Amino acid sequence: DGGITQSPKYLFRKEGQNVTLSCEQNLNHDAMYWYRQDPGQGLRLIYYSQIVNDFQKGDIAEGYSVSREKKESFPLTVTSAQKNPTAFYLCASSISRVTGELFFGEGSRLTVL
């Protein structure tokens, strides 16, 4: 069954801690994306990657970091520098840069205590 797997689904973090959200896809897609959703707002792009070992900042990259060492994996680290990290995080992939549709994972909800 092809798809995108995000983990963990729920995560709690103390202020000052870094946390890493996992995103794995077995769709053989080149492009992967991280979005953040806040109540009443659309999906805002954090980072995206079009090929392995390459990634670009999206609209709200400050306080986040990513890596793309393998085609299947695109983990997102929420650092202590992110001022307001409590949100719902969505990972997505697409066959190529912006053709076709985005396939989304189930999401990860991060709560900072």
Partner 1 sequence: DQQVKQNSPSLSVQEGRISILNCDYTNSMFDYFLWYKKYPAEGPTFLISISSIKDKNEDGRFTVFLNKSAKHLSLHIVPSQPGDSAVYFCAASAVGGNQFYFGTGTSLTVIP
13-15-16-21 Cα dihedral, nearest 10 degrees: 30
- Rounded least distance, CB 16 to partner 1, Å: 27
- Rounded least distance, CB 53 to partner 1, Å: 17
Contact 30, 39 (CB under 8 A): no
Q: Give the nearer residue to partner 1 in terms of CB position, either 18 or 106.
A: 106
DSSP label at residue 80: T
- Rounded least distance, CB 88 to partner 1, Å: 8
Q: Give the nearer residue to partner 1 in terms of CB position, either 43 or 63.
A: 43
Which residues form the interface with partner 1 (CB under 8 A)? 4, 6, 33, 35, 40-45, 48, 50, 56, 58, 88, 90, 92, 97-99, 101-107, 109
Distance CA 107, CA 92 (A): 9
Paired sense of beta strands 19-25 and 4-7, if any: antiparallel
Distance CA 83, CA 93 (A): 26
Q: Give the nearer residue to partner 1 in terms of CB position, either 75 or 107.
A: 107
Q: Give the nearer residue to partner 1 in terms of CB position, either 9 or 70.
A: 9
